[in-house]
Amino acid sequence: MEAAERASPDRASLVHFADGAEIRAEIARTVPLYAGIDGLRRKGDHLQWGGRVLCPDGVFPTEDGRARFAALEIPESRLEPGWFLLSTRRGKQFNSMVHRDRDPLTGAMRDDVFIAREDASTLGLADGDPVVLRSAVGEYAGKVKVAAIKPRNLQVHWPEGNVLLQRGARDPICGIPDYNAVVELLADGRR
């Protein structure tokens, strides 16, 4: 905002906002789809697009008002000992991002590697121990953070974890980028 005001002082009033509430009010006025964003005031406030309940009274936006479900077969992942499924963390939700050295939600530092208690115990690891994660495309040095996640899974913050992700990998059906990888965990920071 300050850079824009200095670059074009004659238009400074168009980009000046006293606080986040004024920014959210401007977004609500400019982008009607975001109606309600201007009501976010306190930490923890949230907004459900489409109203508090999607498909009220069980009526879905289909021709007959009924939902459509399909059973999926999830391919089984076989991992060798010492290998894990890795996903990248952004914050409270997928499209948010932690902007601090310490995540206020989890208390984790930017270089922490989230690991299940069972896996940490099996590997003889404790909070703060140095580890290296190695994928097919890169390496990441971090510290153990025991967390409530599913065994044989690891999580690291995004964008730091990008060094482990295959560039250009996308879901073949919908084209969403793949923010996951299979990684080897090397204890004691060994490379």
Domain boundaries along the sequence of the chain? 2-58, 83-187
Sign, CA torsion 36/37/43/47? positive
pLDDT in tens, 43-60: 777 777 766 777 778 888
Is the model's pLDDT at 124 over the cut of 80?
Answer: yes
Distance of CA 49 to the CA centre of its chain: 19
Classify residue 140 as exposed, middle or buried by CB count within 10 Å of its CB (0-12, 13-18, 19+): buried
Does the predicted model carry a pTM greater than 0.75?
no
pLDDT in tens, 97-121: 667 788 877 888 989 999 999 999 9
Is domain 83-187 in CATH 3.30.420.40, yes or no? no
Question: What DSSP line would sit under 74-112, residue for residue?
Answer: PPPP---TTEEEEEEE-SSSTT----SSB-TTT--BTTE
Is the model's pLDDT at 28 over the cut of 80?
Answer: yes
Structure tokens at 140: 């990441």
